[in-house]
């Protein structure tokens, strides 16, 4: 960036100097020609006067002494006129050049603040930080530091120039990665103020609100989902939410219809497709149970059947302050991917230590159960505010990666880390 700025300044300096130089050279030519004409005229007049003085001397009108005096005065006048013309030429040549160094000094002083205000300096900084992220590799410390710098730069930029939708989306995605769902929903809302009909933003905003409201279809969630569906009826995120809404409202056939339409929009090998298929299977089981009139659990013979339940021992470190009525959330989430819990339970802090079972029966939404994932992590969090959304000041712990395809022993979770 510095090289380009210097190059631009050099170019500006050239265009600033050029008029002075060309103007000076042009005036030099004009006045030089005028001086030559004046000198010739002065010499001609001198010769005429000399001839006149000689004639007066020959006629006896003046003596030799007077002749010499008159001739000397004519020579002096000729010399004076010649010197005056040269001085005029020199004065004209330098006219205005004194202003040039002042302009060269003022240009960077004025241009730099203007560039900082209305230019793309901050955008260039953000682009450089994004580019640097790809070079960190496995250096977690550098990755975290670079990410923090990027987020700070993005927040500073949108505070002064909030019309960049891309920056708001980047902030929202970063908030999702940090499990800050409230922040993500606010960032998406800010982006929608700029582009209120963008189907992608509407879908992401609806999903973030759904997660913030503990996976419930509150009035604002329903409104957001309907707005997103109206903007784009083929968006797989919106179709997934519409399917969940239909299932929750007791219409599994409509839910299946939405989820199959969503599957048409994604890769068949993706985790999204697999999760949607799990929801379809569960809805079909529910429909079959209704048709048969049986309340018994259907037995599904598959390779994951034994891995649908995980025993978890949850406790609090002695260093963690708490009250018995505070809420503890225990959840299973995918090892990589969206932060949507696959299974979750809410218990009172006064019940700890406790052993619980997480299974498909604890799924937060259809199609997103333990059996739909291969690798998961368990999270236990003491909520200071009582909200299911992680917030600053909460205490939590996260397990190592658990492979559901392998035999699972009891997992112990000790809550001992405070969220910044």
Residues 188-225 pLDDT 10s: 998 899 888 888 999 999 988 888 887 788 889 999 99
Does 78 or 365 have the greater pLDDT score?
Answer: 365
CATH of 162-292, one of 1.25.40.10, 2.60.120.10, 3.40.50.300, 3.40.50.1100: 1.25.40.10
| Tokens describing residue 296 | 């018994």
How many angstroms separate the CA atoms of 185 and 176, rounded?
9
Q: For the chain, what is the radius of gyration of the CA atoms? A: 43
Contact yes or no for 369/308 (Cβ under 8 A):
yes
pLDDT at 373: 77
CATH of 305-418, one of 1.10.1060, 3.30.499, 2.30.30, 2.60.40: 2.60.40
**Residue 184 exposed, middle or buried by CB count within 10 Å (0-12, 13-18, 19+):** buried
Q: Is the predicted pLDDT of residue 301 greater than 50, yes or no?
A: no
Alpha helices in 181-334 (DSSP H): 181-194, 199-212, 219-231, 236-248, 252-263, 271-292
Please, what's the b/e burial string for 5-36 (b: 16 or more CB within 10 A of its CB; e: otherwise)?
A: beeeeeeeeeeeeeeeeeebeeeeeebeeebe
Least reliable range by pLDDT among 120-124, 236-240, 251-255, 369-373:
120-124
- Phi, psi (deg, nearest 5) at residue 33: -65, -40
**pLDDT interval class at 288 (50, 70, 90):** confident
Which residues are registered as beta bridge partners of 375?
403
> What's the mean per-residue pLDDT of the chain?
74
User: pLDDT for 10-34, tens place per residue?
Assistant: 555 555 555 545 544 444 554 456 6
Mean pLDDT of 94-112: 59
- The reply to whether 305-418 shares the fold of 162-292 is no
Residue ranges covered by each domain of the chain? 2-116, 162-292, 305-418
Q: Is the predicted pLDDT of residue 128 greater than 70, yes or no?
A: no
pLDDT at 304: 41
Three-state DSSP at 395 gives strand
Give all strands of the β-sheet with 411-415 in edge-to-edge order: 354-359, 309-316, 411-415
Number of helices (H), then strands (E), in the chain? 12, 9
**pLDDT interval class at 3 (50, 70, 90):** low
Distance between the two ends of the chain, CA-based, in angstroms?
35
pLDDT at 296: 44
Three-state DSSP at 393 gives coil
Q: Is the predicted pLDDT of residue 102 greater than 80, yes or no?
A: no
Does 142 or 391 have the greater pLDDT score?
Answer: 391
DSSP string, 165-203: HHHHHHHHHHHHHTT-HHHHHHHHHHHHHH-TT-HHHHH
Mean pLDDT of 87-95: 50
Does 258 or 66 have the greater pLDDT score?
Answer: 258
Q: Is the predicted pLDDT of residue 169 greater than 70, yes or no?
A: yes
pLDDT at 26: 46
CA quadruple 314, 317, 323, 325: dihedral, nearest 10: -10
């Amino acid at each position: 960036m510095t090289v380009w700025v210097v190059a631009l300044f050099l170019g500006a300096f050239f265009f600033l100097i050029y008029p002075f130089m060309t103007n000076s050279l042009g005036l030099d030519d004009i006045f030089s020609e005028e001086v030559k004409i004046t000198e010739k005229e002065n010499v001609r007049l001198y010769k005429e006067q000399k001839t006149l003085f000689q004639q007066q001397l020959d006629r006896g009108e003046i003596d030799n002494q007077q002749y010499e005096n008159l001739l000397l005065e004519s020579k002096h006048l000729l010399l004076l006129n010649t010197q005056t013309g040269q001085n005029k030429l020199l004065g004209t040549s330098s006219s205005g050049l004194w202003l040039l160094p002042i302009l060269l000094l003022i240009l960077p002083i004025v241009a730099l603040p203007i560039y900082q205000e209305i230019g793309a300096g901050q955008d260039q900084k953000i682009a450089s930080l994004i580019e640097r992220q790809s070079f960190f590799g496995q250096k977690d410390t550098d990755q975290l530091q670079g990410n923090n710098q990027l987020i700070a730069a993005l927040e500073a930029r949108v505070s002064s120039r909030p019309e960049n939708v891309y920056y708001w989306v980047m902030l929202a995605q970063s908030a999702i990665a940090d499990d800050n769902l409230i922040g993500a929903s606010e960032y998406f809302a800010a982006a929608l103020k700029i582009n209120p009909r963008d189907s992608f933003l509407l879908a992401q905003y609806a999903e973030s609100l759904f997660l913030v409201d503990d996976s419930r279809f509150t009035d604002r969630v329903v409104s957001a989902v309907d707005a997103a569906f109206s903007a784009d009826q083929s968006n797989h995120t919106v179709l997934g939410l519409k399917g969940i809404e239909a299932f929750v409202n007791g219409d599994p056939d409509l839910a299946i219809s939405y989820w199959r339409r969503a599957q048409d929009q994604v890769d068949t090998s993706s985790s999204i497709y697999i999760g949607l298929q799990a929801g379809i299977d569960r809805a079909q089981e529910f429909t079959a149970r209704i048709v048969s009139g049986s309340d018994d659990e259907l037995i599904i013979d598959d390779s994951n059947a034994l891995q649908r339940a995980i025993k978890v021992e949850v406790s609090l470190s002695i260093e963690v302050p708490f009250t018995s009525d505070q809420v503890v959330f225990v959840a299973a989430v995918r090892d990589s991917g969206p932060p949507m819990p696959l299974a979750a339970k809410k218990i009172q802090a006064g019940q700890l230590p406790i052993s619980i079972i997480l299974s498909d029966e604890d799924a937060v939404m259809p199609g997103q159960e333990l059996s739909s994932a291969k690798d998961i992590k368990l999270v236990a969090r003491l909520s200071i505010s009582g909200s299911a959304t992680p917030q600053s000041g909460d205490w939590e712990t996260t397990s190592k990666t658990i492979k559901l395809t392998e035999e699972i022993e009891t997992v112990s979770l000790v809550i001992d880390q405070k969220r910044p």
